[in-house]
């Protein structure tokens, strides 16, 4: 099956710093989502980004589908950004979207 | 509803008992998915529903696991004769159907935390 790798596995930042999280995938996919899992376990949608670049406030994401990677940029990090960031890719199944998740990047933002 | 809801939030059960987990998707979403998140295995796909049918059950770990969806809305995941290795967070997601841009975006519920003693 498809492999999804995320790096780095862990990241500690000082508040205000910028960071880049990477997601590599082993095969062609129909689309890609980035999620933030907060300390209470809720998965929050960040981006639906099968290709191109999107921005939402301090976050932006870029997917280069032909090279099979996606990047999530966090600027001016805040303590509320702490949590686990997952990328997930979908393999279209009978019209649906079965998500295969990466192992995540655990981010801690300190004061 | 405004988002995906799941119940119960937490469930503690004894080994060997059956449990039922419920998912109520976003209104109008025809696709519904169950995933499991455990310490050793990360986030894993279990089953996918399109309407009331389940075209893909490939992620169900054993025949003790089953799921149904009635009326194209609420889904129930049932685990029979629970084992300690079933302890995990069970997450439900829903999405619109189709290939249009963004229609496949999955929205997740808060999960049910299952502990089998």
Instruction: Establish if B103 belongs to a structural domain.
Output: no
Instruction: Establish if B117 belongs to a structural domain.
Output: no
**How far apart (Å, rounded) are the C-alpha atoms in residues A91 and A48?**
14
Strand boundaries in A8-67, DSSP class E: 10-14, 19-25, 31-37, 43-48, 52-56, 59-64
Taking alpha carbons only, the member of A79, A84, A105 closest to residue A15 is A79
- Summarize the confidence of residues A78-89 as an average pLDDT: 95
Instruction: Establish if B104 belongs to a structural domain.
Output: no
- Summarize the confidence of residues A59-69 as an average pLDDT: 95
Task: Give the range of the structural domain holding residue B60, as residue numbers without chain letter.
Answer: 5-97
Sign of the CA dihedral with B35 first, then B6, B33, and B26 last:
negative
pLDDT, tens only, B50-91: 888 887 888 999 999 999 998 889 999 999 999 999 999 999
- Quote the CATH superfamily of domain A4-110: Immunoglobulins (2.60.40.10)
pLDDT score recorded for residue A56: 95
- Both tokens of B53, joined, read 């049918």
Nearest CA in chain B to A88: B43
pLDDT score recorded for residue A96: 66
Of B45, B50, B113, nearest to A95 by CB-CB distance is B50
Instruction: Establish if B114 belongs to a structural domain.
Output: no
Q: Is the pLDDT of residue B1 over 80?
A: no
Looking at per-residue confidence, does A41 or B75 come out higher? B75
Instruction: Establish if B113 belongs to a structural domain.
Output: no
- Both tokens of B106, joined, read 């999955």
**How far apart (Å, rounded) are the C-alpha atoms in residues A31 and A49?**
6
CATH number of the domain at B87, please: 2.60.40.10
Looking at per-residue confidence, does B101 or A57 come out higher? A57
pLDDT score recorded for residue A28: 83
List of chain A residues whose C-beta atoms are within 8 Å of the C-beta of residue B93: 99
Give B12 to chain A, closest Cα distance, Å: 18
- Both tokens of B6, joined, read 């799941």
């Amino acid at each position: 099956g498809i492999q999804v790798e995320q790096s780095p596995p862990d990241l500690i930042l000082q508040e205000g710093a910028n960071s880049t999280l990477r997601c590599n995938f082993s095969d062609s996919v129909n689309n890609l989502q980035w999620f933030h899992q907060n300390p209470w376990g809720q998965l929050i949608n960040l981006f639906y980004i099968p290709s191109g670049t999107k921005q939402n406030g301090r976050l932006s994401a870029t997917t280069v589908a032909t090279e099979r990677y996606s990047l999530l940029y966090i600027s001016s990090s805040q303590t509320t950004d702490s949590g686990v960031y997952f990328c997930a890719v979908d393999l279209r199944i009978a019209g649906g979207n079965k998500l295969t998740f990466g192992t995540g990047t655990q981010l801690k933002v300190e004061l | 509803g405004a988002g995906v809801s799941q119940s119960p939030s937490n469930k503690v059960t004894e080994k060997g008992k059956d449990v039922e987990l419920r998912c109520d998707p976003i209104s109008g979403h025809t696709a519904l998915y169950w995933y499991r998140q455990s310490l050793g295995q990360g986030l894993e796909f279990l089953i996918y529903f399109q309407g009331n049918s389940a075209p893909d059950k490939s992620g169900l770990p054993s025949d003790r696991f089953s799921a149904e969806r009635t009326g194209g809305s609420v889904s129930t995941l049932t685990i029979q004769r629970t084992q300690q290795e079933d302890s995990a967070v069970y997450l439900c997601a829903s999405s619109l159907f189709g290939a249009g841009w963004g229609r496949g975006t999955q929205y997740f519920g808060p999960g049910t935390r299952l502990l089998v003693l």
